[in-house]
Structure 1
């Protein structure tokens, strides 16, 4: 069962993340972070990270432009994590049966939140004519209320009154509709690959196909090396008394620093290209620019 305190905290988490998404600190407005926090609130951060990370990969290639709405992956991760932990539901099954459908349904709530904010926008337009700067600041902050409620209310209602429905759903998926439950589990495991496929549709793969091959080969080599080193460590640990070496942990900090190096190198290369004038550009071209 999900306690009242947990429902309140999860509802506030959903409200906090959507407000963060409308400001410059958007790090918290990511499914992997939301899933982790939901898992901590429910007492199982591993399940939260799995569901949040899977939702992050699923929506990896989905972008929004202008005022367009998108599926609410954050709220889907919160609700799926809560039910998965509370009802001992398979995470991949919760991902496909709860997280994705909830995220899609809450698209309408996102539209409603944007619509409610037009009330404050029109008030600000009128205050601009009167140079009412204090009123503009107040109404700007008032806009936080409909945004926060657009996520807090659905999440709170779903967690408070949806446990019976999810229990019945689990009974069906593990009973008469076991074939469907198995299919949803498989679909949940495949969803991250769908996100990668969508992302590859947007990336300039044809112009940079060599980087794609390099990344694939490096991943295979590191995976092969890691598995063999782990096997050697396991064999040594079983044959040598008192052996305490760790052959399982990956140096995540080192991997992150390699990513920082690649990002900085790419940024500097582009900065140099942008700052360097084209020696072959004619004066007519410069005038046109």
Structure 2
């Protein structure tokens, strides 16, 4: 029960990341995987599954009006169930996509009424120039109406659904589970393709190929490429020229 409660807390914090912490990326499977693994008593498996799900959902981010499947709480639940059942990456991959779609619908359903009410109250507070009230509503009603339903679902699934989930998993043929393990590697390529698709413009894409050259032909590790990329970013920003606009008195 304590494990289920702690996993639910991780799912809650992951769910409210974008609304409260400004999408700091601490809710991604790569970060939550080791934490869930620590709670469930198997950090190594948590890291492996978290990295696999991160590669799978690498390009799944909210851009404009495009709303992707729910990645955060669904990944937490997938990792917890996979460790709990002892079946590894194949189970996590098998559960991640359907859970992410279901959790997105569940979250939207629970968020509809309080979110609509909060939106109207925030708009009213802004019109009244009551910024403190607007910020309070934005930082309480909005994230709580998203985080609590996700955390509650994860808690119930981990605390009471282990035996049922294990029964279902044991009924799945071995060949199907092997197929899911193979799909984990294929979906990693899909996640990378989604990321490249978003980066496919003449200004950004050369940096991607530069990183590819560093890894493949120069044999640099990830840390070396990251440091080199940071240096290039500093140089690019320092050389940027901005048009000065004369300030007007209002």
TM-score relative to the length of structure 1? 0.72
1:13 is displaced (CA, Å) by 0.7
What are structure 2's unaligned runs of at least 5 residues?
Answer: 245-250
Residue 38 (structure 2) pairs with residue 71 (structure 1)? no
Of stretches 198-207 and 79-88 in structure 1, the one that deviates more from structure 2 is 198-207
3-state SS in 2 of match to 1:69: coil
Distance 1:211 1:90, change over 3 A: closer
Q: Residue 105 and residue 52 in structure 1: after superposition, are their counterparts in 2 closer, same or farther (change >3 A)? A: same
Unaligned runs of 5+ in 1: 224-251, 278-289
Query: For the Cα contact (< 8 Å) 1:69–1:111, is it kept in 2?
Result: no
How far apart are residue 106 of structure 1 and its match?
Answer: 1.2
Secondary structure of 1:222's match?
A: coil
Change (3 A) 1:161 1:68: farther
Note closer, same or farther for the CA distance 1:271–1:180 as it changes in structure 2 (3 Å cut).
same
Q: In the alignment, is the contact (CA less than 8 A) between 1:72 and 1:103 conserved in 2?
A: yes
Q: 2:91–2:177: 8 Å Cα contact kept in structure 1?
A: no
CA RMSD of aligned residues (A): 2.9
State the 4+ residue runs in structure 1 displaced beyond 6 angstroms: none
Alpha-carbon shift at residue 77 of structure 1 (Å) = 2.1
2:177 to 176, 181, 187: 181
Distance in structure 2 (CA, Å) of the matches to 1:120 and 1:210? 42
Q: Distance in 2 between matches of 1:101 and 1:148?
A: 19
| Cα distance per residue 1:85-110 (max 9 Å; x no partner) | 2221122x122211222112212133
1:112 Cα deviation from its structure 2 partner: 2.9
**CA 1:29 to 1:210, structure 2 compared with 1: closer, same or farther past 3 Å?**
closer
For 2:5 and 2:215, the matched residues in 1 are separated by 45
151 and 276 in structure 1: CA distance in 2 versus 1, 3 angstrom threshold: same
1:220 to 1:67, Cα distance in 2 relative to 1, 3 A: same
Work out which structure has the larger RCO, using CA pairs closer than 8 Å and 6 or more positions apart in sequence: 2
**Structure 1 pair 257/220, CA: closer, same or farther in 2 (3 Å)?**
closer
The reply to whether residue 120 of structure 1 matches residue 106 of structure 2 is: no
Tell me which structure has the larger Cα radius of gyration. Answer: 1
* Cα displacement string for residues 57-85 of structure 1 (whole angstroms, at most 9, x for unaligned residues): 11222332235432222222211221222
Q: 1:202 aligns with which of 191, 198, 208?
A: 198
- Conserved 8 A contact 1:35-1:74: no
Query: How many residues get paired?
Result: 240
CA distance 1:186–1:220, change in 2 (3 Å)? farther
Structure 1 204/129 Cα, relative in aligned 2: closer, same or farther at 3 Å? closer
- Paired with 2:214 and 2:13, the residues of 1 have a C-alpha distance of 40
1:47 aligned to 2:45? yes
Q: Map of 1:83-162 to 2, 5 A cutoff? A: 83-91=81-89, 93-115=90-112, 116-143=114-141, 144-162=143-161
CA distance in 2, matches of 1:213, 1:131: 49
